[in-house]
Amino acid sequence: MPKKKGKSISFDAMVKFFLHAYDIPTKRDVEKLLARLDRLESLISATSAAAAGRGRGVRRRSGVPAAEAVLGAIKRSRQGLKFADIQAKTGFVDKKIRNIIFRLNKLGKIKRHSRGVYVAI
């Protein structure tokens, strides 16, 4: 007795099966990803434009380098400045001030009077 042939599978169905089985992206998947990337790029450009106005760059808005601004603030204080006072006077974030204080201490321009209090030399 001859074997009964089943329903033939179309070529499109076979291709679709292999694409799905091997996680190969389709044209629709790529278009969705491109649309999401466009949205992300527009969000990034909008936030970077807003962050650029905050003045967190290497130089302050007045044109004075950050290390000189911190050193100047410390020099103006006779008894030294606490970390929080330096942050309030310069407006820099914690990490930036810590790096500047470390560098100025290493160069010998400031010294640590007590914990968190720095004096210009």
Quick: pLDDT tens for 70-113.
999 999 998 999 999 999 999 999 999 999 999 999 999 999 99
- State both tokens at 117: 């209090």
pLDDT of residue 60: 46
What type of residue sits at position 88? Answer: A
What integer pLDDT is reported at residue 45 of this predicted model?
A: 87
> What pLDDT digit, counting tens, does each position of 25-46 carry?
999 999 999 999 999 999 998 8
Query: Tokens 């640590």 — which residue?
Result: 112
Is the whole model's pTM more than 0.85, yes or no?
A: no
pLDDT for the residue 6? 74
Instruction: From 50, 107, 47, 52, select the one nearest 74 (Cα to Cα).
Output: 107
